Structure 1
Amino acid sequence: MTYKLDTIRLLIAHDSQDEAEQLMNALRNAGRATRAELVLGEDELLRALKSGSWEMLLCRPSFGGCTLETVMAHLQRLGKAVPVILLADDFDAGQLRSAMAVGARAVAPVDDRELIMLLVDQQLDYVRMRKERQQTELALREAEKRLSVLMDQSRDAIAYVVDGMHIHANDTYLEMFGYPSAEDLAGVPIMDMVSAADHEKLKKLLRSRAQDESKTHELECRGVNTSGDEFDATFVFAPSTYDGETCTQIVIRSAQVDESVFQERLQEMSQVDQVTGLYNRLWFMEQLDQAVGEVLKTGQMSALLYLRLDEFEQVQGSVGIEGADEALTLIGACLRKRLGENVPMARVGDEDFAMLVPVSEREDAAGIAEQLRADIEALMPPVQGRTLQMTASVGVAFVQEDSRNGQGVITRALDCCNKAQKMRDGKGNSVHVHDPMDDVAAGSSEAIVLAIRQALEQGTFKLLYQPVMNLEDESDHFFEVFVHLPQKGGDDLKPEAFMPIAAEHGLAGKIDRWVALHAMRAAMAEKAPVRLLVNLSGYSLQDAELAPWIGKAIKAAKFDPRRLLFQISEGDANTFLKQAQAFAEQVAVLGCGFSISRFAGGINPFKLFEHVPVSMVKFDGSFTQELGKPESRAKFAELITQASSRGKQVLVGFVESAQQMQVLWTLGGINYLQGFYLQAPGPKLQLNPEE
């Protein structure tokens, strides 16, 4: 269970707007997607805290007559768990001690941008982990509620005990011992439930549990009810929790209704795949979660091998379902033979298997995966009178000290398996081992530069077009243009992954020119007029020849410049302000429009209008995500009104649900809507939504 944090909602409590904006730009230039708000005094701070949710607060020791101590008092009073980083003038141990004493989580010198960035990253990790823990605790409480219902309906007698006293019991337990209600049992010692002849045995067991409460103990004895009647029973003592309190669970089965063998068999059946005899996915995920917990204690790294049989549907087609089951059984036996009985392994899907193998080094896992792949290729089992030739692809991920949960590990292994299946021209029969760089990009900077140059030479960039809904004119065919860089045997790279590298090598401008030209050509191929919103990187604005080239391209493509808008992000517009101003003025002369995306993410977004001739704004996606909160919705409506009153067209993107659509319909001043709920980006200009 992971908490996704796409945009940092940052509150800056500062005594200087200029310095706060510089800090904001530094965060953006460092690659942190940020939506910030500046507060210059106590009243503004209170309004901001009440009207929005914030991931972090950067705070000066004093601002507008307000102090850090006042800030922390307001946070506590309003119940806001916002980590605070103090931006201090003088940094010493005394200031660090006093700041942390009132609740700040970190202190950095106000001029040390590098340290501030490191602390921001550190606190974001803290926020993610706190949110994940909250989600986990909520899930745990829901599970405990369900278990409580199951317990009350159980045929077994179940009770919970703290310090030898009952705190809760189900109806079966109450009936077994003759108590009319749980209230009558509350506080009764467990010793009263056992015959006097067995008191010494029970005391010995309780002393043993006091030494180690993590184990399960059983006691065969004579139970006794309130009437003094005795009966044979087995008391099972196990560690548990009740209402969040650590306690001991007692399960009692009388000798006449002992179902332990049946329950054990039922438990076994629920964990075993009936076709292969291996364990199933549910059991394997429990083992995987245990491994994630154990690696923090022991440091023992494990490799998760995710194996999928290639083109298994063809096997089913040739030998039928019964024959396919026989083949799967043989695969399971093959895996056991290679890895042994002690290695956790399971059938986790129709033709998918997973194994958890302890390894000393990451390189060891590749050899094991290759052995499994070769074993299956050489197996060639006779099934239903046919000799099957099967192959498998194996993805490898690792359980290591930075692994957060088992689901994340198996998802990563599955992704590697998918990549292995795409190898050898899609034939699979390969192994792909997870590389930490896979999480950052699809390759090294050198490899990306080579791919960019190749895509420019061969024209293999992929353009995607997402419709923009005009709320006033249904006949308006308006599309935003996105560019992706295809990768061999992998997913496409998005602009945020390759454009910074392209800029370092002077290729950003060439990519933007390619996109603009090919998008215009695609639009001209349509029968109906098409309008385009073309995204440019801030790096391209440094090219003084870009605007003149666009003028020539428009003439060459015979494209109506009034149907062309160019868009850059608010962060790029602030970073390259003079260049953005010059470019916007030049394309305005041509007849083109100019738009700002990720709008209102900065401290004073409307200040841009004083320098850059903007015709449209596309608001930051975090505003759409927060429409469910009344305060955030009201603030968003106010920003839309301000932009609209300044003569700017307003585009609201990232519409992902019907509920968001309904809310946006009620807000005035919006000209355009866009999002996956309306239509996802596609490789074609779909003038007819039903295409």
Structure 2
Amino acid sequence: MPRDIHILLVNNAPEVRQMLRTALAEAGYGNITEASCGLSASKILRSTPLDLIITDIEITALDGWRLARLIRSGVFHCSSATPIIVVAKTWCERIAETTAREFGVNEMIALEHFQTLPEVVQSCLQAPAEIFRNPSVLVVEDTQDTADLVLRVLRHRFDVEVAGDGRSGLEAWKKGRHDLVLLDTMLPGMSGPEVLQAIMEIDPEQPVVIMTAFSSVDLAEDLMLKGAADFIAKPFRAEQLRKVCELAVKRDDYLVSNAQFAARVESVRESTEAYRRVSEAHQRLLDNLSTIVLELDAGGRIRFVNQAWNRLTGFSVAESLEKPLISFMAHDKGSGRNGLKSLLTRESVSFQGELRLNDKQGQTHWVECRMDAINSDEGPAIFGCLDDISERKKAQSQLEFLTMHDHLTGLYNRHYFDGALRRMVATSSRGQGSHALLYIDIDHFKVINDTFGHQRGDALLREISELILSRLRRSDVLCRLGGDEYAILAPNSDPSQAKVIAEEICQLLQNFRSQIDGKQVGLSCSIGISEIHGLAVSPEEYLKQADIALYVAKRRGRNRVQVYDPKDTESEELRNSLDWARRLRQAIEEDWLQIHFQPIMHIGSGKIAHYEALVRLDLPGRELVFPGEFIPALELAGEMPLLDHAVIRQTIALVAANPGLGRVAINLSAQAFRDEQLAPLIEGQLRLKDVAPSRIMFELTESASISNITAAQRMIKRLNGIGCEFAVDDFGTGFSTFGFLKLFPAEFVKVDGSFISNLDRNPVDQVLVRSISEVAKALKKKTIAEFVHSETVLNLVKGLGIDYAQGYHIGPPLPIGELKLTASAEAYAAGNPNPAT
């Protein structure tokens, strides 16, 4: 290393300059210019090119920080990147190091370690330390819009890296060890809490800020307890995000600074003058911190506090000194008072928790504190730091309210209801009385929403909520479960008392008139009641009972009250229907719903033309369940659209994956005509799976189509428009409706199986089938015979003019894996009407 480099040595004390010059000279550095203050150093820098500057912090006229800032700004004759080394007489390591980074200082050492100065000089000259480095932030977020927003907000202050999922985020952190991790809770593959756990196991001191949109207060608190430094709720403001990230990046600096500051003050408290010099040196640094740093004496009185105290509380440092910290604390019995008391009595040596401070205007602020008790020559003392967390506590409170309340009406929500019901059931199970659950549904509310719009409907729901509340007792709990459904938990009420309450609510709504767009809107409601007596196996059983009673009330004409009665056969039918609806939802979620395919043969060619999709339930512990067992129950419960949607999705997916299926017929329920989401679902699934509409046809029963002829025509017209075809299923059961075929735009007519199963033994059936065939041909429609179970029946339907045959003689329904697919069905779907050709 050449020793002719030019060094500027700046220090007020001649003896210190001499000591440092000697150490440098012994290492071979002889070209040294000295300056006794910041002003003389500035004059030298204006005219003389220099290779390195060594300075103290405390120099007159221009302190070391400002001198460094001027050098880095490029106003002097030397390069703005000239290495700067600070040799400080008094300093707190972490605070000084943090400040040094901010002012672009390359290296910093204590004067007591001046012997290491030559090695530090050599290191700076060989490989200058990086200056002006922004803190690094790793953003683990799978939503691109959120990630882009964070990047825009933070890129000017931080070096930002983005990872799109938990696993890649963890690998990026292991590689980069970023100053801060901004972590979403909901991530694909590896969740946010799992990433946090993995990071904490490797480095418990790593600052991690959690981003959460739907999480509860309990989840946020749990993640903080597991190591997260802070959290921020989505959606967030730019200023809020920057503040949280700045605080998180600097938090470790603050906490470490506090411990180092306490240790430093204790070590130099040998004389009053030494303490004063250290206190003044650090006061200038501490006053720039947003964290409150304080010292308490043995009686808990404030001995030292920085200016952050004044900014938070409004009380000046002067008027706060010698006053007990507890006199500024809110009058509650929180952990803060207990923690401070344990430190003062020496029951513990450290405390970390939350407490509330009163400001000068009487407002309360939440702060997070960390305090340590030490013993000094002057007796016991307590050192600590306080961080303002008022905004975080406010956000927690808002999250807690939103977790328990309905955003539209302000009533308790389903989450709160579930907990309250469990508690009420528990008290009843312990023999502390019986209670009542009232399940309320506003009659025909969907009509109001569809007629006047959801905004007016929401306003009406708020009015209804106020109306119901006006009737309840103070002990009753009203919850909105969703949509137009409410529940009331009535403690210490038997069924007769609950029925009185319910009937009064029905009367209130019936008498209520709301004006919407100049029109009077009348209301009514149906209410189901169950008694909470502690005998049911679970809280959900009481809700199910109330739900069943509500169904009974609606089936008996609505605008009435029904108390659940297990002996009521109608209630038992509804219970069975609701059980099947629950099992269907579980079957869809657990993939227990199966689609089997039965071939339909073109009689003239003997080739398979297409298949019919038939649904089965493969429930655990049972043999395969056929539709006849569960469809009537689903129709009673009004849940057929759920089955329609699931069958359509699964069938189209199987058609897409198996070209050999060719065309497939899907049965639609009678409720499909009232399902406004059905046609968009079909169109969307065909696009999503890239399936030609000509490969899908739909079957509608004759009876359902006749009762909904207008809706059926509308749906068929829409799906015909994209290329799907239709068949009338079970035709002939309403034989008086032959003229219906003229109105119904279907390409196929399926002769009901009741005419086919005895065709070889019943001449009347043969006449009827021939009639159907002739009428269909006259209307240019193709016919399909169901239940063809023998060669004899097949020959008969062929002789009667039927075009296609379906039944066990042609082939049984089988899952896709057991089908022997041929090219004929695929060719038919491609547009060849005669598979034989």
| Shorter-chain TM-score tier | 0.3 to 0.5
Bigger Rg, structure 1 or 2: 2
Q: TM-score, normalised by structure 1?
A: 0.34
Q: TM-score, normalised by structure 2?
A: 0.28
Instruction: Identify the structure with bigger relative contact order (alpha carbons < 8 Å, sequence gap 6+).
Output: 1
